Structure 1
């Protein structure tokens, strides 16, 4: 039986959702597991603040309740509402940031994060504290770009590369992309840096496959 894994972008940006879908598509296992990717029409335009984070949770949970799946991936690197979705569905729920951190720690003792905006750092720090993984964070660098700029195929690349290099200089042996809107830049950054670059959508997909195996 083919198991359905639902990947939910908790914001309403269709271009961001398309990028997430492209990032997880290589992990489809025909006849065994299928990734379906959806956005939340009632969600915020992006999750840049705590208000956005909390606003995203009720429609995220409602969508998960309407859409049966064997597992869910919350495709935001602030991991909003994963406990609430788990409670509502009784299914495995993967937070992309948690998955990416585990992937980074499998490759290096210390890692860095390229955050979406400055406010993302505190939300991600709290996730690290809950995981007991804060000791592994070498540094975090915020891009402070809008979602439209981040999704552009060229505009953010110089800033991404500069941030990645600063993280490596700070001692990071792996770099985590701190927003799912960065998925389309993964190959570029991996080629440019001398350390592993962890893309959270892919990391979440791999963990979801393990959860339904």
Structure 2
């Protein structure tokens, strides 16, 4: 399966290459993700509600222009920009990292929370949770208060993430969605008291297994 993905922010060539390499490493046999930068008119970070809205429109427009050889579409963003609207009117599957991750936790009978980089992203993630009708099993969002550079600085992200894992566990979360599509989890996360979900890795595994349509 060939999946066409679009970044939620405009990124430099080296960051686009890093994200593409991450997809290449995570994609199971039979799945190939082609990642495209959303373009120079997009925000460079999602730090405000307006930037989130601008990103949503640009990502949706870029996904609608996907090449014919793409079997499926996917935003490179845990906020699922454009997913609900596009899935209703396009004849190709549109995969949402957040929707897939939350649904999988619900099917497994686990309550789930999330962490995000900042408050603007947290607010949009919570809006999507309610839009998907999955709020009943959702324990809340914690923010890490990190700048956009932390996305490619895995050690900084992991240190902030570890600091909130205990609180999320006490809030009742069995799963915790790592609220960024492009961040690698540290190996020691496997031993943390809450199961931290890499939404990109999980979605790609489910796509490969035929669990997601």
Using structure 2 for the length normalisation, give the TM-score. 0.83
Counterpart position of 2:101: 100
Q: How big is the shift at 1:141?
A: 0.7
8 Å CA contact 1:20, 1:180 repeated in 2 = no
8 Å CA contact 1:20, 1:75 repeated in 2 = no
C-alpha separation in 2, matches of 1:189 and 1:12? 31
Answer with 148-157 or 13-22: which moved more: 13-22
Counterpart position of 1:199: 198
Q: How big is the shift at 1:87?
A: 5.7
- 2:200 aligned counterpart, secondary structure: helix
CA shift in 2, pair 1:193/1:76, >3 Å: same
Counterpart position of 2:36: 38
8 Å CA contact 2:168, 2:194 repeated in 1 = no
Alignment deviations for residues 79-108 of structure 1 (CA, whole Å, 9 cap, x no partner) = 111234446743111111111212333444
Alignment deviations for residues 41-97 of structure 1 (CA, whole Å, 9 cap, x no partner) = 232212233211221234323432143311011121111112344467431111111
C-alpha separation in 1, matches of 2:211 and 2:94? 9
Counterpart position of 2:168: 167
Q: How big is the shift at 1:192?
A: 4.0
C-alpha separation in 2, matches of 1:116 and 1:16? 17
8 Å CA contact 1:5, 1:208 repeated in 2 = no
Counterpart position of 2:20: 21
Root-mean-square deviation (CA), in Å? 2.5
Gaps in structure 2 of 5+ consecutive residues: none
Counterpart position of 2:83: 82
CA shift in 2, pair 1:212/1:141, >3 Å: closer
Count of aligned pairs: 207
Using structure 1 for the length normalisation, give the TM-score. 0.83
Q: How big is the shift at 1:7?
A: 2.1
Gaps in structure 1 of 5+ consecutive residues: none
